[in-house]
Amino acid sequence: MKIALAQQNYHIGNFEANTIKIITAIQQAEAQGADLVVFTELSICGYPPRDFLEFADFIKKSQACIQTILPYTKNIGVVLGCPTVNPIADGKDLYNSAYVLHQEKIIGVQHKTLLPTYDVFDEYRYFEPAHEWNCITFKNKKLAITVCEDIWNLGDNPLYKICPMDELVKQSPDVMINISASPFDYTHVEDRKAIIKKNVAKYKLPMVYCNTVGSQTEIVFDGGSIVMDVSQNIVAELNYFQEDLQLVELLDNGNFAQSIITPAVDVPNQELAPTTYEALLHTDKIYNAIVMGIRNYFQKMGFKKAILGSSGGIDSAVTLALACQALGAENVTAVLMPSQFSSDHSVSDAEQLSKNLGNPYHTVAIKPIFDVFMQQLKPIYQDLPFSLAEENIQARSRGNVLMAIANKFNYILLNTSNKSELATGYGTLYGDMAGGIAVLGDTYKMQVYALANYINRNQEIIPNHIIHKAPSAELRPNQKDSDSLPDYSILDQILYQYIERRQGPDEIKAMGFDAALVDRTLKMVNTNEYKRNQFCPIIRVSSKAFGVGRRMPIVGKYLG
């Protein structure tokens, strides 16, 4: 049997475009001689549709797309994902389903069993889990079809009591097919390969695993669909961060006609879960994920041009370089906004960066704006000493300048804050925390430096002076980030343990970190939850990003 994997980038709720894309891939697969073409989880409507699923019209349109696609299945089988109405009054209204179409008919439907409710997932809010499992026969082959999370329980996951493949294997299937929408994080490629390998080893069946690609606001899907033979060798691995369609031929012995590209011995046996912070881990993947995240956000929202503040610092420099790669340098405007505290090199570094990238830039000095604020506030401030209030007026002046230009020319403001700053509250609400989407909000400061070096891997794009100078907000004379924050190389390690690994204060201190520093850091994280609660969407690249996947009470007292 010849099976095509169609790894595609869908637009949530754009039924016409999604359907056209699916039909086009069906025709391409058929032209290549495929017997069956496999799409991804909820491919009809896009994933994750979230509360769109509560609209009856959304479900009606999803089902109508199935009918539109059926005429194209006369000579080829199709596996795709679509929400299904649950006809039973008890339970949730919908199923998350895999459909098998052939000869212009629906020949089988298998509902998703395991509905994740952790991190960015909230599927049990909408879907009823499957209560029965049946292989679907297609051209004398029994297909054991599962949906995404269904393969992540092999009987050892305490979150779930049911193991769908344990039920399906009783019917002697010939191949496992998993349609997935598995989000990217910089350790997840190894995780997926390991779990696919475990399934193949346990059930002694080959697996065709088709994953979606593309960014949906904050969630990035990296593709990387995989075909693994019965001996746990990878015989096909689709491209990462781009659409792809590949054909494999399944043989009767559970192997494939294709050559092995990764032998079983080189496929990970376990998930990658670093116990310590590794700032240089998979920088290339993070780079590609963020570029795709920016590009898809603008494409799917119908935006064309971006704007950001260019300070001559590392965060804005990396953000600018990433945005130029994603959108084209001509579509990204940088605004230099020096104050009386800005160093000469900050301005010259920012100018040189834009010259290297070829993007348009403007200079708007904020001292006159700041002076007007101070003049108007003098009756209230009187002779009180310079403080954080005056620093924040500068940041908010910059935010107002950026938003004024953005509004005038229909630009979208890119936020440049990094995860270390967001974690500790080192940012000004309605100032440098303004933006439509956060580019670096899920990368710690040391990862930002790693990205800068990656951007410069072939030539100097970001001026070396930006990379090597001490970071500073330049909101008061001779200011350095280290005046307010611990050294980033230590801070990032503590934050990683607390945020990604959910280690408490005692556990972190037991690792050898200074007790007072741990207490201070965790207090900063928790007391600044109110700032993050008002922040823009963050492109997710880690296993635990601020945003929809991390829900903390604003007024909580617990520090760990």
Q: How many CB atoms lie within 10 A of CB 552?
A: 12
Cα-based torsion angle of the residue sequence 481, 483, 489, 493 in order, rounded to the nearest 10 degrees = -100
**Chain centroid to CA 313: how far?**
25
Task: Return d(Cα 203, Cα 14) in angstroms, integer.
Answer: 37
* Contact criterion met (CB below 8 Å) for 151 and 182: no
Task: Return d(Cα 248, Cα 264) in angstroms, integer.
Answer: 18
Distant-in-sequence, close-in-space partners of 128: CB < 8 Å, separation ≥ 6: 86, 88, 91, 92, 93, 94, 95, 111
What are the distances in angstroms from CA 541 to CA 105, 288, 443? 40, 10, 7
Asked about 148 being catalytic, the answer comes back as: yes
Looking only at the bridges linking them, the beta strands covering 305-309 and 226-228 are unpaired
Distant-in-sequence, close-in-space partners of 417: CB < 8 Å, separation ≥ 6: 315, 427, 432, 433, 438, 440, 441
* Contact criterion met (CB below 8 Å) for 462 and 354: no
Cα-based torsion angle of the residue sequence 392, 395, 396, 400 in order, rounded to the nearest 10 degrees = 170
* Residue 362 structure tokens: 């403007």
Asked about 507 being catalytic, the answer comes back as: no
What are the distances in angstroms from CA 132 to CA 149, 349, 435? 16, 63, 47
Kindly report the three-state secondary structure assignment for every residue of 293-354. Answer: HHHHHHHHHCCCEEEEECCCCHHHHHHHHHHHHHHCHHHEEEEECCCCCCCHHHHHHHHHHH
Position 345: which residue type? H
- For 319-444, list the strands marked E by DSSP: 332-336, 361-363, 411-415, 437-438
What are the distances in angstroms from CA 30 to CA 209, 225, 256, 258, 555? 19, 19, 19, 18, 57
Asked about 54 being catalytic, the answer comes back as: no
Phi, then psi, of 455 in degrees rounded to 5: -60, -35
* Contact criterion met (CB below 8 Å) for 362 and 336: yes
Compute the radius of gyration of the chain from its Cα atoms.
26
Beta bridge partners of 223: 240
Of the candidates 21, 30, 45, 112, the residue annotated as catalytic is: 112
Burial class (CB in 10 A: 0-12, 13-18, 19+), 137: middle
* Contact criterion met (CB below 8 Å) for 420 and 442: no
Of the candidates 41, 128, 149, 500, the residue annotated as catalytic is: 41
- The C-alpha angle 443, 445, 447, rounded to 5 degrees, equals 55
Beta bridge partners of 303: none
Q: How many CB atoms lie within 10 A of CB 109?
A: 17
Of the candidates 45, 135, 148, 324, the residue annotated as catalytic is: 148
Cis peptide before 48 (omega within 30 of 0): yes
User: Would you name the residues annotated as active-site residues?
Assistant: 41, 112, 148
